[in-house]
């Protein structure tokens, strides 16, 4: 089975966001970067598919040199090959990412292309479906359970209040959601093995960007709340305020 | 002069509440940009509910019958198929020369937005929390870094697809207007077998309970509840005000509550009008999922818990005392 997994490098989820002087991005000083948590699920699912069906797993990232860290983490988990599609600029939108990924992936004719359901930096929720559309193959997003038997795909997709049971065919694009698996921790052996795996670098095919950030700001500060300290005795006053002041009851 | 197509969602022959949010905002954008608005829906028997859209200012509805889509391919009996839905919306947008396409940022809308953008050669933004029109140009703002920052964004192409975060845009009724309805001719959409290669055959409802992602009021519990059995206190409080139950990741990871109830960065993003957090510390990843709620109430015994920094109201105290007292008080005031 030819398996591709797309990975991105994102600021650690505990990052305290500061806005840079340009007011168009965050201040990267002191920020530590991790493999996008949903992509970890995608890598795990890729490895499980390889264990079951044979074949190999290629991890691909679009970005600057820094993005190699995401590929290295995928190597540590067990990915076989790594490709960095190198962006000339650090500013790229979901379309630029998707177009470059699709241009590279298309001639490889993979059976499955795995993604995280979303990246936790820009929360774009777009790349998997755009890549699938550009490749002309189906996509199931927000997948919490995946089964591929005899070329038939059955998946559960999380929706409001329940799950959709989706049937599809290969080749396919999948967006992994929490619950699909428990990602493995790299062990010493796989960490050592990762060190000798080369990352292939190729040039970007597109750099246009269809969208632009005009400004980035911190969310408006909340006026400080009314906090009561007498426990149970304050309940009726609180409920009165919810009713008469906040008008939510 | 531009044209807007707004896709609205339906359930069992009725428009969902999100439809009225979308129509209200689309009507506003249409009047600010002197555009023509076409509302589009896919459903069965939906034309009978069209008047409900007119109450929010929609003047034109195009609809496609789901049964007819089902009839277009071999795997019949599906409830949703991403490619064919995306195609129907994109084709109607092309026929209407739409330069703005609006959907709700629900699981359906977010699934479709990227595909429609590619099919119509548009730029796209998911999960917008406000939309501005200045000099005929659209700018939107959307949370990034899990709500820790808000970006203002614009499109470099003349066409744009936007999905709007549910519960943020409030439906506003207009003076009684009328609506013209038209059944789409699915023959003009060039649907082919490949548009049905992925289909939703069934939808399993997790429970009859209200889902956190859709609820207007949420009562969430965290590790401060100490054991899973104590969640019945949270459920009772939720019941007293018709709220959905939510949970922190700590209790979901411990297996006390299902993942579908988790609020936060790796759970659901919610913005109800009332969010009551009980025994939740307010870790940054939890705040990421709920800090845009309109009114936040925190109950925590630790006065320094970070949840109090985002709370509009709070009580420092023991959940086992405060929650039952609050349930009683809510019942009392609501029965008056
Ligand atoms: C990548 C990543 C993603 C994450 N995603 C999420 C997410 O989506 N959602 C999420 O919630 N978390 C998420 N987390 C976890 C998050 O960091 C916290 O660990 C979690 O939110 C803590 O849950 P809690 O508030 O229930 O528990 P705790 O932090 O243990 O807090 C319990 C609180 O209860 C209070 N308390 C205890 N007893 C009582 C009592 N009797 N009366 C009143 N108060 C009491 C305590 O003072 C304390 O503040 C994520 C973490 C990571 C690393
Ligand atoms: N720069 C990138 N390189 C490779 N894959 C990416 C990149 N950005 C996003 N992805 C993939 O697309 C998924 C969804 O991202 P997004 O649409 O940005 O929320 C992520 O979980 C990744 O799997």
Which positions in chain B touch A26 (Cβ < 8 Å)? 145, 149
Query: What is the nearest CA distance from A86 to chain B, expressed in angstroms?
Result: 22
Residues of chain B with CATH 3.40.50.1220: 217-335
B275 touches A229 (CB < 8 A)? no
3-state secondary structure of A136: coil
Q: Do A218 and B308 touch (CB under 8 A)?
A: no
CATH topology of domain B217-335: Rossmann fold (3.40.50)
Residue owning the nearest CA to atom 49 of ligand 1:
B281
Residues of chain B with CATH 3.40.50.620: 3-196
Average pLDDT over residues A132-160: 96
Question: Which distant-in-sequence residues (6+ apart) come within 8 Å of B335 by Cβ?
Answer: none
Closest CA to A197 of A76, A84, A37: A76
Average pLDDT over residues A14-28: 91
| Ligand 1 centroid distance, CA of B306 (Å) | 10
Buried b (16+ CB within 10 A) or exposed e, B65-78: bbeebbebbeeeeb
Whether the per-residue pLDDT at A86 is higher than 80: the answer is yes
Cα separation, B331 vs A196, in Å, equals: 66
| Ligand 1 centroid distance, CA of B280 (Å) | 5
Q: Do A161 and B205 touch (CB under 8 A)?
A: yes
Q: What is the CA radius of gyration of chain B?
A: 22
B333 touches A249 (CB < 8 A)? yes
**pLDDT for position B77:** 81
DSSP A177-222: -TTS--PPPP-HHHHHHHHT--EEEEE-S----SEEEEEEEPPPPP
Query: What is the nearest CA distance from B192 to chain A, expressed in angstroms?
Result: 12
Whether the per-residue pLDDT at A21 is higher than 70: the answer is yes
Cα separation, A51 vs A54, in Å, equals: 6
Q: Do A168 and B111 touch (CB under 8 A)?
A: no
Task: Evaluate: CB of A41 within 6 angstroms of ligand 2.
Answer: no
Q: pLDDT above 70 covers what percent of chain A?
A: 100
B299 touches B255 (CB < 8 A)? no
| Ligand 2 centroid distance, CA of A120 (Å) | 9
**pLDDT for position A160:** 86
Which positions in chain B touch A128 (Cβ < 8 Å)? 114
- Provide the token pair at A165: 């049971």
pTM for this prediction: 0.88
Tell me which chain A residue has its CA closest to the CA of residue B158: A210
Query: What is the nearest CA distance from A58 to chain B, expressed in angstroms?
Result: 24
**pLDDT for position B136:** 76
**pLDDT for position B1:** 59
Mark out the alpha helices in chain A (DSSP H runs): 37-53, 68-77, 94-105, 127-135, 188-195, 235-244
Write out the H or E segment, with its range, that includes residue A117: none
Which positions in chain B touch A99 (Cβ < 8 Å)? none
Query: Thinking of the domain B3-196, which architecture would CATH place it in?
Result: 3-Layer(aba) Sandwich (3.40)
Q: What is the CA radius of gyration of chain A?
A: 22
| Ligand 1 centroid distance, CA of A1 (Å) | 41
Does A238 touch chain B if contact means CB atoms closer than 8 Å? yes
0.90 surpassed by complex ipTM? no
A37 touches A120 (CB < 8 A)? yes
Question: How confident is the prediction along chain B (336 residues), in pLDDT tens digits per residue?
Answer: 589 999 999 998 999 999 999 999 999 999 999 999 999 999 988 999 999 999 999 999 999 998 888 888 777 788 899 999 999 999 999 999 999 999 999 999 999 999 999 999 999 999 999 999 988 789 999 999 988 899 999 999 999 999 999 989 999 999 878 999 999 999 999 899 889 989 998 898 876 677 898 899 999 999 999 999 999 999 999 999 999 999 999 999 999 999 889 999 989 989 899 999 999 999 999 999 999 899 999 999 999 999 999 999 999 999 999 999 999 999 999 987
B208 touches B182 (CB < 8 A)? no
- Which atom number of ligand 2 is nearest to the Cα of residue A6? 5
Query: What is the nearest CA distance from B178 to chain A, expressed in angstroms?
Result: 32
């Amino acid at each position: 089975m030819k398996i591709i997994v797309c990975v991105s490098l994102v600021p650690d989820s505990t990052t305290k966001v500061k806005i840079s002087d340009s007011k168009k991005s965050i201040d990267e000083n002191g920020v530590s970067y991790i493999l996008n948590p949903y992509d970890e699920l995608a890598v795990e699912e890729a490895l499980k598919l390889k264990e079951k069906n044979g074949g190999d797993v290629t991890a691909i990232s679009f970005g600057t040199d820094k993005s190699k860290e995401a590929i290295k983490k995928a190597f540590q988990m067990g990915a076989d090959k790594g490709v960095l599609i190198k962006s000339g600029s650090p500013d790229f939108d979901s379309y630029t990412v998707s177009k470059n990924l699709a241009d590279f992936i298309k001639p490889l004719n993979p059976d499955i292309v795995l993604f995280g359901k979303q990246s936790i930096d820009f929360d774009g929720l777009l790349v998997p479906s755009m890549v699938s559309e550009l490749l002309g193959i189906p996509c199931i997003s927000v997948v919490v359970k995946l089964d591929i038997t005899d070329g038939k795909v059955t998946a559960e997709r999380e929706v409001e209040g329940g799950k959709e049971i989706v049937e599809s065919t290969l080749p396919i694009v999948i967006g992994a959601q929490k619950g699909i698996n428990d990602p493995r921790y790299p062990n010493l052996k796989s960490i050592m093995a990762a060190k000798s795996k080369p990352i292939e670098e190729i040039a970007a095919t597109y750099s246009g960007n269809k969208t632009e950030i005009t400004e980035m700001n911190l969310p408006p500060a909340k006026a400080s709340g009314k906090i009561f300290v007498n426990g149970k005795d304050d309940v009726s006053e609180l409920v009165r305020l919810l009713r008469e002041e906040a008008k939510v009851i | 002069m531009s044209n807007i197509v707004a896709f609205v969602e339906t359930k069992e022959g009725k428009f969902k509440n999100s439809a009225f949010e979308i129509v209200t905002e689309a009507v506003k954008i249409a009047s600010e940009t002197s555009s023509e608005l076409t509302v589009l829906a896919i459903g069965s028997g939906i034309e009978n509910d069209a008047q409900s859209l007119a109450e929010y200012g929609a003047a034109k509805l195009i609809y496609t019958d789901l049964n007819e889509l089902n009839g277009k391919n071999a795997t019949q009996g599906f409830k949703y198929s991403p490619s064919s839905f995306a195609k129907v919306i994109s084709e109607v947008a092309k026929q209407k020369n739409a330069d703005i396409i609006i959907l709700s940022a629900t699981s359906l809308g977010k699934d479709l937005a990227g595909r429609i953008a590619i099919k119509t050669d548009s730029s796209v933004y998911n999960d917008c929390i406000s939309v501005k029109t200045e000099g005929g140009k659209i700018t939107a703002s959307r949370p990034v870094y899990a709500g820790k920052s808000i970006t203002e964004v614009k499109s470099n192409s003349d066409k744009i697809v936007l999905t709007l975060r549910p519960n943020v845009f409030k439906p506003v009724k207009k003076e009684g207007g009328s609506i013209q309805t038209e059944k789409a001719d699915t023959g003009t959409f060039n649907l082919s077998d490949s548009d049905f290669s992925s289909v939703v055959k069934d939808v399993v409802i997790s429970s009859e309970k209200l889902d956190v992602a859709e609820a207007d009021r949420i009562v969430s519990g965290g590790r401060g509840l100490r054991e899973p059995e104590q969640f019945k206190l949270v459920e009772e409080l939720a019941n007293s005000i018709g709220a959905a139950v939510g949970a922190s990741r700590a209790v979901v990871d411990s297996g006390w509550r299902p993942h579908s109830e988790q609020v936060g960065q790796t759970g659901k993003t919610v913005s109800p009008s009332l969010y009551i957090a009980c025994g939740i510390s307010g870790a940054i990843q939890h705040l990421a999922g709920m800090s845009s709620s309109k009114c936040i109430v925190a109950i925590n015994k630790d006065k320094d818990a970070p949840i109090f920094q985002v709370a509009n109201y709070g009580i420092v105290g023991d959940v086992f005392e405060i929650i039952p007292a609050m349930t009683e008080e809510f019942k009392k005031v609501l029965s008056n």
